[in-house]
Amino acid sequence: MIILYTATIFLSAFLIFLVQPIIGKLLLPLAGGSSSVWNTCMLFFQTLMLAGYCYTHISQKKFGVGKQTNVQLGLMLAALLLLPITFTASTAIPENPTLWLLINLFKSTGIPFFVLATLSPMLQLWFAHTNHKLAGNPFFLYAASNTGSFVALLAYPFLIEPFVDLTTQTTLWAAGYAILTVLIFFCRKSVKTKFPEQADEKQQDTESIDKKTILKWIVAAFIPSSLLMGSTLYITTDIAPVPLLWILPLMVFLITFIMAFSPRNLPFRLIEKMAVVAVFAFTVAFDLYFNQYLRMTIPLHLLILFSIGLYCHTYLARSKPAVNNLTAFYAWISVGGMLGGVFNTIVAPYIFIGYTEYPLIIVAAAAFIYHNSKESDRDHSKPARLTALATGVVTATSIIAIRSSDFSLILRKLAARHYFEVNTGVVFNICEWLTSNSLFLKTTLVILIAMTPLIYISRIKRFNLVAAVIGMMLCFYAYETAASDNVIFDTRNFFGIKKVSIKPESGARILSHGSTNHGAQISAPAWRQTPLTYYHRQGPAGDIFALPVAQKENFKAGIIGLGVGTLATYAKPGNEFTFYEIDPDIIDMVSGEFPIFSFICDNASQTRLIAGDGRLKIKEAPANYYDLILLDAFSSDAIPMHLITNEAVQTYLQCLQPDGVLALHVTNRYLNLLPVLKKIAEANDLKIMFTNDFDFDAANKSNYMRKKCIYVVMARSYEPIIALKEVKNKTWQEMPSDTHEVALWSDSFSSIIPILKW
């Protein structure tokens, strides 16, 4: 019987986790990637999850378990009639697609998803109404639910997406749902209408849960949910925008749930200590991370998520109620998880400019740990708070001093003052070692100093974690603000955090999204109209706009992705450059009331801006309208996948003149997109050329602020692009025949696994 229930819960969680990326891939080509689309989808799925948990609770109270099983089987069979999942745009999608999305999401997957969302708590409740010897404690089955989610998380990108197209995925998902329905039928047969006789008094207790307990459940679910999203955003944009890296935090999150609700878990006292260490370690990992040691920084953030997540989830497992209150318990957990998602995805981007929600949740975790200690072990006195605050400040300033010190120079000066030979001998060798190992030494010392507050570990419940952490964070914030680049503007919305910094030596303004440069401008009159970085006149962009097609008097270019508007500098009188940009903050930076970058304003008569998803908006252009379409859309370091599928390229071709050119800027640290574009060119009988613009003299003044980049061009014949072969100091070439073969990317099939730069 345990095998039956475990398999059923596992499969239900697997299908829930699998349907969300499937819907995402169905949706992108139709609705684009705007914030309203993703916010609507997130709210839809989270609301249905909560609704499913609440339905389980209400139906059990209203109908009893006996009737509930019959109703549930009926719902499962009814939902089968709506499968497989389809998502089509039978009508024009409105400018604000929220209502349209909600209606179509509900029609396509709403009922099956809702039915699946009810199963995890419901099946545990059913198991509690069996004659099995473990029926009195069905909460261990929650580990099976999270294991199903964990397996789906790994299976989709590595085993399903690379080998199965979207149509087949929806068919297989429907088959999995049908199998689940059969399993539900057998589970239903084992259910008794009353609790088994072996259930003890505690499990038969039907008293209502007090409000304080409910609040703690919500908080314990809220903190890891918010921490998961905060750490994922920070790791994948500010530290290393590596494809699929977002999987690691989610894996850690699910592992903590599995451990917490499994019969075997770490001792709670050890988990509490790990959480305290994580709280202190975070201050160093977040405020003073070392980019040179990514292999240390990223695991450190993951360990912080693991430790705090395990503490909160173990608290939930330890405070679980009597079986009669099982459904209420899971409903309140769902409330906390949903609030965490809403806070990070919808609220935080509009009230915080930086990653404020991430350290804020660490402070909340510290308060939660402190509050959960026994009242007799806590010290609420003012001296205790001041001592903790002082400890945090001293620790932080010590770390700052270590990080700012040049140990080699200090030793050299000390030795010289005391008449030691500093250019040869032992002192010289030590100084050389300190210089070559400076970063490693500083990192080690910083970590050791950051752990000094743990001398209180034996009395940790008396130590005010919140005051200590706030003291450290405030010091680090002040230091980082003073020591950071000259940031003159920063903004944040759904599409991420964008910063504009200035280089003191040249006055160049640089736009960054995470760790990726998205363009620059020098405002001095002599340089104001000079394209820099990936769009340099000496680079591939200059070559493309020197092609014969770009010399037409009425030359028209459609550019998907605005950046700082650098490409507007290639516009000539009589030209028309149309920029498509999805991020309103970027549009405001280049064309608002007080623009930070002037490329668009300086070329206003030749440029126009269209807000929205580039692929959807360019469809509105007349057929054969553009002479050149250039794809330059990036989110941090990644090109949105739906912009480079076969259907997307066919859309661009419809808007191109017969002799037009399609150019793509595909610079990427982690993906090799050349095989993908070669396959698309072959499928559409296009001629293709590319260049890796890596070999140039960066010290040469003519290459000032030029960045390495990769560009690809396609055309219906070689005639419009053959001139690129004559460009000096660059190697524009046809795609080699031995280029790595990949499957044709389409709206129903695409995978980055084969093109990852492992």
The answer to whether residue 311 scores a pLDDT higher than 90 is: yes
The answer to whether residue 209 scores a pLDDT higher than 90 is: no
Mean per-residue pLDDT, 589-612: 93
The answer to whether residue 590 scores a pLDDT higher than 50 is: yes
Domain boundary among 145, 160, 195: 195
Q: How far apart are CA 671 and CA 558, in angstroms?
A: 25
CATH code at position 68:
1.20.1250.20
pLDDT value for 281 = 84
Angle at 479 between CA 514 and CA 516, to 5 degrees: 10
Please check whether residues 595 and 740 belong to one and the same domain.
yes
Please check whether residues 478 and 518 belong to one and the same domain.
no
Structure-model confidence comparison of residues 19 and 42, the more confident one: 19
Q: What is the DSSP letter of 597?
A: -
Q: How far apart are CA 20 and CA 641, in angstroms?
A: 16
pLDDT value for 256 = 96
Percent of the chain's residues with pLDDT above 70 = 91
Q: What is this structure's pTM?
A: 0.86
Q: What is the DSSP letter of 246?
A: T
Owning domain of residue 664: 513-755
Phi, psi of 228 (to 5 degrees): -60, -50
Mean per-residue pLDDT, 658-671: 93
Q: How far apart are CA 704 and CA 526, in angstroms?
A: 14
- Residue 616 within a domain: yes
End-to-end CA distance of the chain: give it in Å, rounded: 44
Please check whether residues 574 and 655 belong to one and the same domain.
yes
Mean per-residue pLDDT, 241-256: 86
- Residue 249 within a domain: no
Structure-model confidence comparison of residues 637 and 338, the more confident one: 338
Instruction: Give the Cβ contact number of residue 637 at 10 Å.
Output: 22
The answer to whether residue 522 scores a pLDDT higher than 90 is: yes
Among the listed residues 275, 281, 303, 2, the one whose alpha carbon sits nearest the alpha carbon of residue 137: 2
> Look-up: residue for tokens 């500010």?
238
Angle at 597 between CA 591 and CA 601, to 5 degrees: 45
Give residue-wise pLDDT tens across range 555-567. 999 999 999 999 9
- The pLDDT-based confidence of 162 (bands split at 50, 70, 90) is very high
- Residue 370 within a domain: no
Tokens of 515: 């760790």
- Residue 335 within a domain: no
pLDDT value for 201 = 41
Structure-model confidence comparison of residues 317 and 202, the more confident one: 317
Domain boundary among 195, 224, 246: 195
- Range in 22-26, 94-98, 145-149, 578-582 with the lowest mean pLDDT: 94-98
**520 and 62 Cβ atoms separated by less than 8 Å:** no
- Residue 59 within a domain: yes
Q: How far apart are CA 16 and CA 52, in angstroms?
A: 12
The answer to whether residue 198 scores a pLDDT higher than 60 is: no
Please check whether residues 10 and 139 belong to one and the same domain.
yes
Sheet holding 556-560, edge to edge: 607-611, 576-581, 556-560, 626-631, 656-665, 709-715, 687-693, 733-734
How many CA atoms within 13 Å lie on the side-chain side of 691?
26
Buried b (16+ CB within 10 A) or exposed e, 148-186: bbbbbbeebbeebbbebbbeebbeebbebbeebbebbee
> Look-up: residue for tokens 């693991």?
306
Domain boundary among 195, 217, 251: 195
Amino acid at 242: V
Please check whether residues 471 and 520 belong to one and the same domain.
no
DSSP string, 529-585: T---BTT-TTSHHHHHTTSGGGG-TT-EEEEE--TT-GGGGG--TT-EEEEEES-HH
Give residue-wise pLDDT tens across range 419-442. 888 888 888 889 889 888 887 788
Q: How far apart are CA 203 and CA 188, in angstroms?
A: 21
The answer to whether residue 257 scores a pLDDT higher than 50 is: yes
The answer to whether residue 648 scores a pLDDT higher than 80 is: yes
pLDDT value for 92 = 61
Please check whether residues 533 and 467 belong to one and the same domain.
no
pLDDT value for 381 = 67
- The pLDDT-based confidence of 143 (bands split at 50, 70, 90) is very high
Please check whether residues 85 and 150 belong to one and the same domain.
yes
> Look-up: residue for tokens 């990949």?
742
pLDDT value for 200 = 44
Please check whether residues 46 and 125 belong to one and the same domain.
yes
How many CA atoms within 13 Å lie on the side-chain side of 81?
4
Count, residues in the chain? 758
Mean per-residue pLDDT, 734-750: 87
**33 and 640 Cβ atoms separated by less than 8 Å:** yes
**142 and 257 Cβ atoms separated by less than 8 Å:** yes
Sheet holding 486-493, edge to edge: 486-493, 496-502, 508-513, 516-522
Structure-model confidence comparison of residues 656 and 43, the more confident one: 656
Tokens of 633: 């859309």
pLDDT value for 307 = 96
CA 141 to chain centre: 29
- Residue 679 within a domain: yes
pLDDT value for 293 = 59
Structure-model confidence comparison of residues 717 and 739, the more confident one: 717
Structural domain count of the chain: 3
CATH code at position 560:
3.40.50.150
Give residue-wise pLDDT tens across range 356-395. 899 999 999 998 988 887 655 566 667 777 877 877 788 8
Please check whether residues 186 and 38 belong to one and the same domain.
yes
Cis peptide bond prior to 84, omega within 30° of 0? yes
Tokens of 205: 């207790």
Mean per-residue pLDDT, 399-414: 85
pLDDT value for 196 = 52
Angle at 233 between CA 399 and CA 638, to 5 degrees: 120
Percent of the chain's residues with pLDDT above 90 = 50
Our CA dihedral for 695, 698, 700, 706, rounded to 10 degrees, sits at 90
The answer to whether residue 291 scores a pLDDT higher than 60 is: no
> Look-up: residue for tokens 């070392």?
290
Structure-model confidence comparison of residues 193 and 321, the more confident one: 321
> Look-up: residue for tokens 């072959």?
682
pLDDT value for 202 = 43
The answer to whether residue 296 scores a pLDDT higher than 80 is: no
Tokens of 10: 């596992």
Please check whether residues 529 and 439 belong to one and the same domain.
no
Mean per-residue pLDDT, 200-217: 70
Residue 491 bridge partners (DSSP): 498
- The pLDDT-based confidence of 317 (bands split at 50, 70, 90) is very high
DSSP string, 42-56: HHHHHHHHHHHHHHH
Angle at 611 between CA 618 and CA 343, to 5 degrees: 125
Please check whether residues 691 and 562 belong to one and the same domain.
yes
- Residue 364 within a domain: no
Q: What is the DSSP letter of 95?
A: S
Please check whether residues 523 and 477 belong to one and the same domain.
no
From residue 18, give the alpha-carbon distance in Å to each of 22, 157, 248, 497: 7, 10, 17, 29
DSSP string, 288-301: S--GGGHHHHHHHH
pLDDT value for 730 = 74
- Residue 369 within a domain: no
The answer to whether residue 146 scores a pLDDT higher than 70 is: yes
